[in-house]
């Protein structure tokens, strides 16, 4: 099993550009989520999904869009990148749909917006 | 909304010294999880505590969940250089409402160990 796979690992964007961060898991997990990590602020939830076709907003959803068409994939779209979105992004999944299981994290995607 | 505060933000210790990080929630928690993130790495699950007053041990690591289920601690005995990293707590709020199911992470404690 590959676990949770994120691509790309590094990306540089210009202000106003759009892009998609990819996340795939091969553990048949129902729950998937996106976090951003900034120095001194821990991990903040952007969006999450409890199954295919179901998504919901987290703590910091503005400027991001998600969809969940399959159990395996949960892409994160930046609609119009801003310097404030410079961060490290982590995708995470869990096998327990009721949010009580451990989260398995991908290796992260480091995004810089100029 | 729910807030999870973690202290200290930084901790520098000599190898062999003990280390403790504390986590406090503004609301009662259903459970609390602890994660470790090595420098340049991703968070890795350490443990989950569910019961009031629960204490769990993993070798040199001791985890506690408060009686009121609003605070938790991680204690490392006799630190080693392999303990270096950031330790996060993450609390899941109890009950329903808009915050249900949204695990909230503390800011993390960055541990450095000097050999």
Per-residue pLDDT of chain A (114 residues; tens, 9 = 90+): 789 999 999 999 999 999 999 999 999 998 899 999 998 888 999 999 988 999 999 889 999 999 999 999 999 999 999 999 999 999 999 886 555 678 999 999 999 999
Mean pLDDT of B57-65: 98
Whole-number Å distance between alpha carbons of A74 and B51: 32
Among B42, B39, B1, B3, CA closest to B23 = B3
Given a contact cutoff of 8 angstroms between Cβ atoms, the answer to whether A20 and A7 are in contact is: no
Q: Cα–Cα–Cα angle for B32, B37, B42, nearest 5°?
A: 105
B88 and A50 within 8 Å at the Cβ level: the answer is no
Residue of B nearest to A96 (CA): B101
Mean pLDDT of B24-46: 94
Residue of A nearest to B39 (CA): A107
Instruction: Give the pLDDT of residue A99.
Output: 55
CA distances from B66 to A61, A67, B41, B63 (A): 32, 38, 29, 10
Beta-carbon pairs below 8 A across chains A and B: 55
């Amino acid at each position: 099993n590959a676990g949770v796979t994120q691509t790309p690992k590094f990306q540089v964007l210009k202000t106003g550009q759009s892009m998609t961060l990819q996340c795939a898991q091969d553990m048949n997990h129902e729950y998937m989520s996106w976090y951003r990590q900034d120095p001194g602020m821990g991990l903040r939830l952007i969006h999450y999904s409890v199954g295919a076709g179901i998504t919901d907003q987290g703590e910091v959803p503005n400027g991001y869009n998600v969809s969940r068409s399959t159990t395996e994939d949960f892409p994160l779209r930046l609609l119009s990148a801003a310097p404030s979105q410079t961060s490290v992004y982590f995708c995470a999944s869990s096998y327990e749909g009721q949010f009580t299981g451990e989260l398995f994290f991908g290796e992260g995607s480091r995004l810089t917006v100029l | 909304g729910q807030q999870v505060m973690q202290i200290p933000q930084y901790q520098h210790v000599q190898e062999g010294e003990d280390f403790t990080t504390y986590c406090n929630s503004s609301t009662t928690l259903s459970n609390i999880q602890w994660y470790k993130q090595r420098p340049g790495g991703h968070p890795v699950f350490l443990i989950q505590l569910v019961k009031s007053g629960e204490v769990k041990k993993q070798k040199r690591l001791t985890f506690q969940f408060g009686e009121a289920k609003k605070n938790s601690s991680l204690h490392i005995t006799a630190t080693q250089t392999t303990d270096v990293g950031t330790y996060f707590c993450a609390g899941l709020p109890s009950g329903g409402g808009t915050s249900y199911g949204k695990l909230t992470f503390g800011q993390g404690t960055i541990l450095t160990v000097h050999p």
